[in-house]
């Protein structure tokens, strides 16, 4: 029998200037207990994964010494391809095919959600490897819940174009879809571009459209603000350029 590929959520404070919080306050104990026993890991960055496992070890002692764990990074997809081909990922699943459990972890949040790990999950299904997603924080889900917008129908659209003209066109396109489908649109951005995206949304969306911004979710300084675009224009908000944020809007 093959092992299981566990999708292990990470804390959402990675890369922020705030001090790391106790993982016990951010992830379920059951998730930490599974993570502590895994001997094989696939990740985006081995260094930050070791830091994550040190935080796990402080709560649930690791079954093996950190130095003894197998930690392998996902291959970067060749330029022009959205994801690595399943064949490229076969060696990463070798421990699972040999009967050992494997953990997949991303830099922050849930693996395979707004994350390149989805390709490994697809490869696992193709190889007949059992896949289990463990409970934990997802900034996308938390932002939708805190927004007060339509949580019955929402679409995560990832990153918007960087070039201003293309970004503005995409914002208007997504607002039209939101109005047509009564659907909340959700996007993220690299933190240093947060102010530019907020400015573009406030400028391009219609005054009656509802806009919600969630910043630093699960951090001690987290906040969510929701209101009409007209209100955002009347009461401009400032955005940190070093803390992850989630943007959501719903046309009315």
Q: What pLDDT score does 76 carry?
A: 76
Q: What pLDDT score does 20 carry?
A: 58
Q: What pLDDT score does 141 carry?
A: 94
> Which CATH number is 139-250's, of 3.30.950.10, 2.40.30.10, 1.10.3720.10, 3.40.50.300?
3.30.950.10
Q: What pLDDT score does 16 carry?
A: 66
Series of mean pLDDT values for 10-residue runs along the chain (252 residues) = 94 68 86 97 95 94 96 77 58 96 94 89 94 93 97 96 96 98 96 95 98 92 96 92 94 96
Only one residue has tokens 């959600």, namely: 113
Task: Record the pTM.
Answer: 0.87
Q: What pLDDT score does 114 carry?
A: 85
Q: What pLDDT score does 84 carry?
A: 46
Q: Which residues of the chain are in CATH 3.40.1010.10 domains?
A: 4-133
Q: What pLDDT score does 67 carry?
A: 95
State pLDDT tens for residues 8-60: 999 887 666 665 567 888 899 999 999 999 999 999 999 999 999 999 999 99
Q: What pLDDT score does 221 carry?
A: 86
Domain 4-133: assigned CATH number: 3.40.1010.10
CA distance 28 to 16: 22
Q: Which residues of the chain are in CATH 3.30.950.10 domains?
A: 139-250
């Amino acid at each position: 029998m093959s092992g299981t590929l566990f999708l292990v959520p990470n804390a959402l404070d990675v890369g922020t200037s705030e001090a790391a919080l106790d993982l016990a306050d951010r992830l379920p104990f059951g998730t930490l207990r599974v993570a502590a026993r895994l001997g094989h890991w696939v990740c985006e960055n081995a260094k930050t994964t070791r830091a994550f496992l040190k935080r796990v070890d402080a709560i649930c002692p690791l079954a093996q010494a950190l130095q003894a764990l197998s930690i392998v990074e996902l291959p970067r997809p060749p330029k022009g391809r959205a994801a690595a081909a399943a064949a490229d990922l076969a060696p990463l699943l070798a421990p699972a095919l040999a009967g050992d459990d494997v953990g997949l972890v991303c830099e922050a949040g849930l693996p395979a959600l707004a994350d390149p790990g989805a390709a490994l999950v697809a490869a696992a299904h193709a190889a007949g490897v059992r896949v289990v997603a463990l409970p934990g924080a997802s900034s996308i889900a938390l932002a939708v819940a805190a927004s007060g917008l339509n949580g019955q129908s929402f679409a995560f659209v990832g990153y918007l174009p960087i070039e201003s003209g293309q970004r503005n066109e995409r914002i208007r396109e997504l607002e039209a879809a939101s109005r047509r489908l009564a659907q909340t649109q959700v996007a993220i951005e690299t933190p240093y571009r947060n102010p530019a995206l907020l400015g573009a949304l406030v400028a391009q969306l219609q005054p009656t459209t509802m806009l919600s911004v969630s910043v630093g979710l699960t951090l001690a300084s987290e906040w969510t603000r929701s209101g009409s675009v007209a209100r955002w224009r009347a009461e401009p908000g400032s955005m940190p350029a070093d803390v992850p944020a989630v943007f959501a809007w719903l046309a009315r």
